[in-house]
Structure 1
């Protein structure tokens, strides 16, 4: 079965590489296209057998499952290219959060799924957030989740929770790395430790912490409790962070949701001509 990818930017290329490196897909199964053909040709050079498409229509014609990995403002053009070939048995998978399932169902007669990946999938880890149209059969859902299980832990979520689940699973790695970067910067500035050494220590710490949370039964709260000896150094640090970060994460969620709602309004305008 041929699998198509429209868009080989950051996340599109991550998915392709992860599927191939995990053994979920062979390069010969993949047909990929991008506005910049050079990006696809570089992937084809790395993974012999992967086919570079001349246009989106070729992908739609030859593939039963098509991943759309482009920015929201590019969707209308892509859908116009897909429409002549989007027969009811085909599956279109969107990875873009503000493009709703109903947007695609209104314009395409095929089966629709939405899967929000994470950069952690590049390490064959992390979550994939899965949402489905009613046109998707149980066997379609099972096949798609089986595919994603090779590079992630699939989570079936309600579409109304797209933003907050994406904050946690997809934006979260960047948020955590911002914290790590600031921690390293302060350590270097104040103590003179080598940046490379501090970065290695923080990276190993984050990996070990993730294993405790996912493999050893800890929760964030129980892990803190285990490390924080009353009156100890870690407890003092937690008290400081509590005083500075009070309300910050609530503001963070309000900020990401406001941006999502703005993007959603623009998508509505793009698809239906409504005023954004």
Structure 2
């Protein structure tokens, strides 16, 4: 299997590195292009055998799977570049949530899917969220999910839930890393424990909690019940969180959805060839 990557930014590079380090793909199976050629060339030097090419058309040519890893407002230009060269049997995958599958199916003759990766894929963990267009076959789904299964748990979702599942799966690591950071800072400030030691302990705690919720089969409520006892230290501390946190995640979801809708509208304007103001 040959795989092309158009765009080698943060998530594109992360996917390439994870797929190579997990032996899901050999460097020789990968072609990459980037609007700044030196970035693609840097990946080629890092992974001998990987081919850096100068055009997006060349990156897509001859590849069974092509990942589009560009920003939402760059999609229309990239799609216009490759539209005449992609073939119906190719599977083109967007990793950009505001670009809808119907946008791409209207402009391209090939099979279309959308995958939402996560930074956790870097350590072959977490989920990748898979959404499929109307032309994708069962064999295409199996092929893609076998590939992604080397670095994640591929989960099929409906496109209508793209934003909320992205919040949980892809943005969630940043949200909970921030909460963990606040926990660590409070520990350091109040007790004088070394930050490095507190970070190590807190990180192992978070890893173990994740395992309880997955391999251990516990729910979040069950973890809380098993750790706390009525009137105990944990129960009293949980009461503080229950008083302080209500509404925080509701506001968070409103914020991400408002930005998502704004981005979708801008992308639609571009695909409808309307003028878009701003970056």
Shorter-chain-normalised TM-score: which range?
over 0.9
Report the alpha carbon displacement of residue 42 of structure 1 after superposing the two structures with TM.
1.8
Residue of structure 2 equivalent to 1:51:
51
Deviations 1:64-98 (A, max 9, x none): 21100010011011101111112211111000000
Q: Which runs of 4+ in 1 moved over 3 A?
A: 273-276
Residue of structure 2 equivalent to 1:247:
247
- The separation in 1 between residues aligned to 2:12 and 2:275, in whole angstroms, is 30
Residue of structure 2 equivalent to 1:139:
139
Residue of structure 2 equivalent to 1:213:
213
Residue of structure 2 equivalent to 1:164:
164
Residue of structure 1 equivalent to 2:11:
11
Residue of structure 2 equivalent to 1:150:
150
- The separation in 1 between residues aligned to 2:123 and 2:89, in whole angstroms, is 32
Provide TM-score, normalisation by structure 1.
0.98
- The separation in 2 between residues aligned to 1:73 and 1:261, in whole angstroms, is 14
- The separation in 2 between residues aligned to 1:39 and 1:87, in whole angstroms, is 27
Report the alpha carbon displacement of residue 221 of structure 1 after superposing the two structures with TM.
0.7
Moved more, 32-41 or 137-146: 32-41
SS at match of 1:62: coil
Note the residue ranges of structure 2 that are not aligned, 5 or more in a row. Answer: none
Deviations 1:17-68 (A, max 9, x none): 1111111111000001111222222211221100001110111223221100
- Matches of residues 158-197 of structure 1 in structure 2 within 5 Å? 158-197=158-197
1:256 equivalent in alignment to 2:252? no
SS at match of 1:130: strand
Residue of structure 1 equivalent to 2:120:
120
Moved more, 207-216 or 36-45: 36-45
Alignment RMSD, CA only?
1.1
Residue of structure 2 equivalent to 1:72:
72
Note the residue ranges of structure 1 that are not aligned, 5 or more in a row. Answer: none
Corresponding residue pairs, total: 276
- The separation in 1 between residues aligned to 2:214 and 2:152, in whole angstroms, is 13
SS at match of 2:112: strand
Residue of structure 2 equivalent to 1:29:
29
Report the alpha carbon displacement of residue 187 of structure 1 after superposing the two structures with TM.
1.3
Provide TM-score, normalisation by structure 2.
0.96
